[in-house]
Amino acid sequence: MKNFTTSFLLPLLIAFSFTACSSDSSNEESAAQNSTGDYWPTTVDNNWIFTQDGEETTMKIIGIDEMDGAKYYKFNQMAGATTSLDAQTSVWIKKNKGDYFIKMGEINIDFGSFTGKITGYEFIILKDYLEVNQTWSGKYTHTTSYNVPDFPTVVTTVTYTGKILEKGSALAIKGTTFKDVIKFSFTQSASISGQANSETITNYWIAKNVGVIKMETNGSVSELKSYLIK
Nearest to 185 by CA among 141, 215, 221: 215
Mean of pLDDT values over 114-132: 90
Q: Is it the case that residue 32 has pLDDT exceeding 90?
A: no
Report yes or no: 43 and 229 within 8 Å, Cβ to Cβ: yes
Sign for the CA dihedral angle at 64, 122, 199, 164 comes to positive
Tell me, what's the pLDDT at 192?
82
* Contact between 86 and 71 (Cβ < 8 Å): no
Q: Which of 25-39, 58-72, 171-185 has the lowest mean pLDDT?
A: 25-39
- The answer to whether 181 and 170 are in contact (CB under 8 A) is yes
User: Could you tell me which residue, 131 or 148, shows the higher pLDDT?
Assistant: 131
Distance CA 20, CA 7 (A): 17
Tens-digit pLDDT profile for residues 200-229: 999 999 999 999 999 999 889 999 999 999
- Rounded Cα–Cα distance for residues 230 and 228 (Å): 7
pLDDT value at residue 22: 35
Model confidence band, residue 80 (pLDDT cutoffs 50, 70, 90): low
* Average pLDDT over every residue of 79-96: 69
What kind and span of H or E run contains 201?
Answer: strand 198-207
At 194 the pLDDT is 67
Amino acid letter, residue 129:
Y
pLDDT at residue 7 in the model: 36
Beta strands in 13-113 (DSSP E): 21-22, 47-52, 55-67, 70-75, 87-89, 91-96, 99-104, 107-110
**Residue 20 CB neighbours (<10 A):** 23
CB neighbours of residue 151 within 10 Å: 13
Instruction: List the single range of 4-13, 73-82, 106-115, 135-144 with lowest mean pLDDT.
Output: 4-13
pTM of the model as a whole? 0.83
Compute the average pLDDT of residues 63-75.
Answer: 96
The sign of the CA dihedral 12, 203, 41, 229 is: negative
**Least confident segment among 87-96, 140-149, 213-222:** 140-149
Of the candidates 68, 144, 130, 146, the one whose C-alpha atom is nearest the C-alpha of residue 103 is 68
Single-letter amino acid code for the residue at 22:
S
